[in-house]
């Protein structure tokens, strides 16, 4: 390669800003619509309307996707091809062409797309019958389901043995074993771009759909360790009225999900949903928060506090004229503390206490015995405002407001405020998390970091590699942070020792 060509190649290289590298920011968006397919020695590449997704055909697992923030000129891939001579993956988009070097893990812009290497090894006429999983069927180049929907198979690539990897228009990729005529779905990515929230339960992530309208979109399930994705569409899923998830809790047997239309119980064993959306247990069907105690599932709603028996039975309120609190049962006491008309933004069980963040301040009650809720306050009334969330770390409690984070040391009862005056009062804080060394906040203008030791602060935005500045939800997961945005799910490798941000 001569010096001029080398200079042009280096200038065309697409890099992250600052010290970020591939893998620091990973964006998961809607990859269900496949436009093209290619294959190198080990990997199958699918071009989609949301970027490039990669499937390791030997390990039979998905690798991280490649999207616009990695360097692709446009999120919609019109065509994809593998150049074996140079070991490059090429994409053609409406914004220009680019190629990816798998060894250097780097994108380069420009160049002529090698159309001679673009392939489509799938032909509907080759398959009269394909064996599908329960609930689906194959006919004339389409996959159909029991609800009468049909999804066209688009482009495929063969490994010249018994495996054919084919994209669909609306269901993502599928794998066809051409020897036995078996077709298996291998879905990848969230159902839609518009993610309302992200909730981590064990090793699993549940993603809410921000689509408008009851029954629209789908609840997305993701297990990163297994690389497993599933979608639950309310319109076609019994017991699930809304995919707009807001909060959740679960154990090895049961998952409780709070949605904009009631509480939902999901059985891991049976894989089915049961809905709770009536006023006997919930003051409002719009569930904002969930906390599960020994006996009850506590539900914070837009119009008060609800409770459901942990076994799933709906409790009737027991009226009592007895004012002696010591003689009241837990159920009777709960029936008196519904906080009707209050907006219950967050519920957390911390130690022996149930904490409640509301539009009228922060409260707590001891779950051992029949005590009532009492207000929490600082000497200078820092908690006399709407509280959005309460979390605990060590000896500290963190109270999130629209603009500030109030920290109370439970041993000394001293309080402090963390905020950023350069964004006050324009920004809106939504969620908070801490790893013990840093405080992280999801805001409407980006991901905010505050280092506890020295007060260093930084706002991460789309200029750093995020797909959106509008952060709706946040989950801290070891060295990673997962972010819900209206353009997809982001995984951020925050604890990279090679960076100093």
- Cα–Cα distance for residue pair 208/367, rounded to 1 Å: 30
Instruction: With beta carbons less than 8 A apart as the criterion, state whether 476 and 483 touch.
Output: no
d(CA 329, CA 338): 15
pLDDT (tens digit, 9 = 90+) per residue, 297-313?
Answer: 999 999 999 988 876 55
- What's this model's pTM, rounded to 2 decimal places? 0.91
Mean local confidence (pLDDT), 354-380: 93
Instruction: Say if CB 176 and CB 182 are below 8 A apart.
Output: yes
CA distance from start to end of the chain: 36
pLDDT in tens, 57-70: 999 999 999 999 99
Which of 425, 395, 419, 420 has the alpha carbon at shortest distance from 408? 395
- pLDDT tens sequence across 385-439: 999 999 999 999 999 999 999 999 999 999 999 999 999 888 999 999 999 999 9
Residue 77 covered by a domain: yes
Confirm if 89 and 97 have CB atoms less than 8 A apart: no
| CB-based contacts of 48-51 (< 8 A; 24+ apart in sequence) | 48/77, 48/167, 49/75, 49/76, 49/77, 50/75, 50/76, 50/189, 50/193, 50/488, 51/27, 51/75, 51/77
CA-CA distance, 323 to 495, in Å (whole number)?
Answer: 54
Q: For residues 175 and 183, give the distance between their C-alpha atoms in angstroms, rounded to a whole number.
A: 6
Which of 5-9, 225-229, 453-457 comes out lowest in average pLDDT? 5-9
Give the number of domains in the chain: 1
Asked if 448 contacts 441 with a C-beta cutoff of 8 angstroms, the reply is yes
User: Whole domain around residue 145: which residue ranges?
Assistant: 1-189
Residue 194 lies in a domain: no
DSSP type of residue 114: -
For the record, the structure tokens of 362 come out as 């922060």
Q: How far is CA 351 from the centre of its chain?
A: 28
Is the pLDDT reported for residue 320 higher than 50?
no
Q: What is the DSSP string of 230-290?
A: EEE-GGGSTT-----EEEEEE-SSEEEEEETTEEEEEETTT--EEEE-STTT-S-S-EEEE
Quote the tokens at residue 180: 């036995």
H or E stretch covering 136: strand 136-139
pLDDT the model gives residue 265: 95
Answer whether residue 129 is part of any domain: yes
Does the residue 117 lie in any domain? yes
Lowest mean pLDDT among 3-7, 158-162, 236-240: 3-7
Locus of tokens 């009226």: 319
Residue 174 lies in a domain: yes
Q: Could you tell me whether strands 457-460 and 473-477 are parallel, antiparallel, or unpaired per DSSP bridges? A: unpaired
The C-alpha atoms of residue 354 and residue 364 are separated, in whole angstroms, by: 5
Please give the full DSSP string across 464-492, using - where no structure is assigned.
GT-S-S---EEEEETTEEEEEETTEEEEE
Q: Which of 69, 63, 75, 76 is nearest to 102 (CA)?
A: 63
pLDDT digits (tens, 9 = 90+) for 18-48: 578 888 999 999 999 999 999 999 999 999 9
| Position 238 in a domain | no
* pLDDT given for residue 324 in this prediction: 53
pLDDT of residue 317: 43
What is the DSSP secondary structure assignment for residue 336, as one 8-state letter?
Answer: H
- The average confidence (pLDDT) of the chain is 90
* 4 domain-assigned: yes
Confidence of residue 295 (pLDDT cuts 50, 70, 90): confident
Using DSSP's 3-state secondary structure scheme, residue 334 falls into helix
- 156-209 pLDDT, tens digit per residue, is 999 989 999 999 999 999 999 999 999 999 999 999 999 999 999 999 999 999
Is 144 a member of any domain? yes
């Amino acid at each position: 390669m001569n010096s001029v060509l080398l200079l042009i190649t280096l200038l065309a290289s697409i890099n992250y800003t600052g010290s970020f590298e591939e893998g620091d920011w990973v964006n998961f968006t809607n990859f269900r619509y496949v436009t093209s397919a290619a294959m190198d020695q080990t990997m199958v590449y699918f071009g989609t309307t949301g970027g490039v997704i990669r499937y390791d055909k030997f390990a039979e697992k998905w690798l991280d996707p490649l999207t616009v923030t990695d360097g692709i000129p446009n999120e919609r891939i019109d065509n994809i091809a593998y150049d074996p001579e140079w070991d490059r993956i090429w994409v053609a988009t409406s914004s220009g062409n680019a190629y990816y070097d798998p060894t250097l893990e780097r994108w380069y812009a420009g160049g002529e797309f090698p159309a001679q290497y673009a392939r489509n090894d799938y032909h509907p006429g080759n398959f009269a019958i394909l064996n599908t999983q329960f609930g689906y069927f194959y006919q004339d180049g389409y996959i159909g389901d029991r609800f009468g929907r049909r999804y066209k198979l688009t482009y495929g690539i063969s490994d010249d043995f018994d495996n054919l990897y084919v994209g669909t228009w609306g269901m993502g990729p599928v794998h066809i074993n051409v020897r036995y005529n078996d077709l298996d779905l291998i879905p990848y990515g969230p159902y839609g771009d518009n993610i309302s929230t992200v909730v981590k339960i064990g090793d699993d992530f549940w993603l809410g759909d921000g689509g408008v309208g009851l029954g629209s979109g789908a609840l997305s399930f993701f297990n990163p360790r297994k690389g497993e994705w599933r979608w639950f569409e309310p319109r076609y899923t019994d017991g699930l009225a809304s995919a707009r998830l807001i909060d959740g809790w679960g154990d090895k047997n049961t998952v409780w999900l709070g949605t904009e239309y009631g509480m939902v119980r999901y059985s891991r064993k049976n894989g089915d949903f049961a809905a709770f959306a009536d006023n006997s247990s919930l003051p409002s069907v719009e569930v904002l928060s969930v906390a599960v105690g020994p006996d009850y599932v506590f539900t914070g709603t837009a119009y008060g506090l609800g409770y459901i028996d942990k076994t799933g039975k709906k409790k009737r309120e027991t009226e009592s004229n007895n004012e002696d609190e010591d003689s009241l049962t837990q159920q009777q006491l709960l029936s008196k503390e519904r906080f009707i008309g209050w907006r219950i933004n967050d519920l957390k069980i911390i130690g022996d206490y149930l904490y409640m963040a509301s539009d009228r301040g922060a409260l707590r009650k001891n779950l051992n015995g029949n005590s009532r809720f009492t207000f929490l306050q600082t000497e200078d009334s820092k908690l006399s405002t709407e509280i959005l969330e309460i979390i605990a770390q060590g000896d500290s409690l963190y109270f999130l407001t629209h603009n500030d984070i109030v920290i109370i040391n439970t041993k000394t009862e001293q309080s402090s405020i963390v905020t950023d005056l350069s964004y006050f009062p324009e920004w809106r804080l939504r969620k908070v998390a801490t790893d013990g060394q840093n405080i992280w906040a999801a805001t409407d203008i980006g991901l905010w970091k505050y280092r506890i030791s020295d007060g260093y602060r930084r706002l991460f935005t789309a200029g750093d590699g995020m797909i959106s500045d509008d952060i709706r939800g946040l989950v801290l997961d070891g060295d990673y942070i997962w972010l819900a945005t209206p353009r997809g799910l982001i995984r951020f490798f925050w604890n990279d020792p090679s960076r100093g941000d």
